[in-house]
Amino acid sequence: MDILKKFSLEGKVALVTGGAYGIGFAMAEALAGAGAKIAFNCRSEKHLETAMKEYKEKNIDAKGYICDVTEEVQVKTMVESIENDLGIIDILVNNAGIIKRTPMLEMAVEDFTQVVSVDLVGPFVVAKAVIPGMLKKGHGKIINICSMMSELGRETVSAYASAKGGLKMLTKNIASEYGQYNIQCNGIGPGYIATSQTAPLRIIQEDGSKHPFDNFIIGKTPAARWGTPEDLMGAAVYLASEASDFVNGHILYVDGGILAYIGKQP
């Protein structure tokens, strides 16, 4: 057996939501490197144009679509367009997400609802639109981007943690409901990844010192560093490939060991 063939994505069609930058872009790049044809979405023409330039710079022939993942009609239209342009979707990466760092008592219900809508309802809507095609083909891979906040709580992220905890259980439920049809649904739980979304937590202070949260994360992580989007590439390819055909309903935490570690003694 050529084990490397198990990781090949040649001929596969992959949709990466929120694939314009950061974690989503890195995972799309990884899937493309393994042979997949890439589709991604943005919510604005400006972001789409910028992303297309970056994909071209990486020599990735990606197709971009403007779509709000919380709007079912838009999602159905996007999936139909992808099927016409590239073929039926084999791989879905539910990556699109937002976070609002606000103490619970200060958070407006509208803000809480928006986070849950994008981070939890969105993956449900997109998976619902994609699964029929997977059933038709007789196989499929769904990768939900969860978080360590699927397992842990922290100040100011009540909405995000609630949504990601729900996404973990949605992952398990999709696996339970559609595993018999050769559809695997798993999650990736990134640790603290250095992206534009987490940049405010790494700002150098006026006195030249690191942000207190930056020091906290490095001290709590056995790898003693923040992760990078590239650290997620291997996990994405694995869960998208035949190598993971008997892995279903699992959350793979790519966190530098932080969930396994109680922390240094003061």
Catalytic annotation present for 160: yes
CA distances from 41 to 53, 148, 182, 233, 263 (A): 14, 25, 26, 19, 39
The CA dihedral of 151, 165, 142, 192, to the nearest 10 degrees, is -50
The whole-angstrom separation of Cα 145 and Cα 126 is 13
The H helix count followed by the E strand count for the chain is: 8, 7
Q: Which of 163, 149, 170 is nearest to 92 (CA)?
A: 170
In the chain, % helix, strand, coil (3-state, to 5) comes to 50, 15, 35
Q: What angle do CA 15, 120, 136 make, to 5 degrees?
A: 40
- 243 exposure class (CB count in 10 Å sphere: 0-12, 13-18, 19+): middle
The whole-angstrom separation of Cα 238 and Cα 142 is 12
Residue 79 token pair = 């999936």
Residue linked to tokens 């057996």: 1
Amino acid at 57: E
Question: What is the helix (H) or strand (E) element at residue 40, kind and residue range?
Answer: strand 37-42
In contact, 240 and 29? CB cutoff 8 Å: no
Of the residues 160, 178, 192, 253, only one is catalytic, namely 160
Catalytic residues: 160
